[in-house]
Amino acid sequence: MDIEPQPGFRAFRDYRWDGVACLPYKQDASAPFKAISRQVLFAEPKLGCELRYFEMPAGGFSTLERHEHMHAVRSLRGRGHCRLGEQVRTVRPYDLVTIPSWTWHQFRATQGEPLGFLCMVNAVRDKPQLPSGQELAALRSNPAVAAFLAS
């Protein structure tokens, strides 16, 4: 097996887990994001999905992107906002967000506090797409989304 099996029990302490690396999130130098970290909680060869924990400090945001694969998100820490297609909504701890295929999405820690969320995703998946200049202009034509992107 080329992936080391996880030990059975891994304790939680202050939004870190024993034996789980906390990595800066940087999939692509051209992807604009701010101060977001990533911890992979479960990535097992026998599971069809991975579970990751993403966290950003106040003012941080994830990349505005879309892709074929879905995200199943459960927020964990703090309040913030999520943009999902044409909607911008407040996200509070433990809320669920379903991000369908090819839907533009972004999380922002807009409330002066850290924002952290769990994301379940297929282990085999496509790479995200970023918006072109033209697409970004179209996204900004919705006032709620424009205010969100500028926050």
Cite the active site residues: 119
Q: How many CA atoms lie within 13 A of 70 on its CB side?
A: 9
Q: Does 3 bind a second copy (CB under 8 A)?
A: no
Q: Provide φ and ψ at 17, rounded to 5°.
A: -125, 140
Q: Assess contact for 5 and 45: CB atoms under 8 A.
A: no
Rg of the chain, C-alpha, whole Å: 16
Q: Kindly tell me which residue out of 1, 3, 11, 150 binds a second copy, with binding defined by CB under 8 A.
A: 11
Q: Does 111 bind a second copy (CB under 8 A)?
A: no
* Beta-bridge mates of residue 117: 54, 75
Q: Does 149 bind a second copy (CB under 8 A)?
A: no
Q: Does 120 bind a second copy (CB under 8 A)?
A: yes
In the complex, least distance from residue 66 CB atom to a second copy, rounded to whole angstroms: 14
Q: Which stretch binds a second copy (CB under 8 A): 27-35, 56-64, 92-100, 139-147?
A: 92-100
Give the pair of three-digit tokens for residue 118. 């769990």
Q: Does 6 bind a second copy (CB under 8 A)?
A: yes
C-alpha 77 chain-centroid distance: 13
Q: Does 10 bind a second copy (CB under 8 A)?
A: yes
In the complex, least distance from residue 137 CB atom to a second copy, rounded to whole angstroms: 24
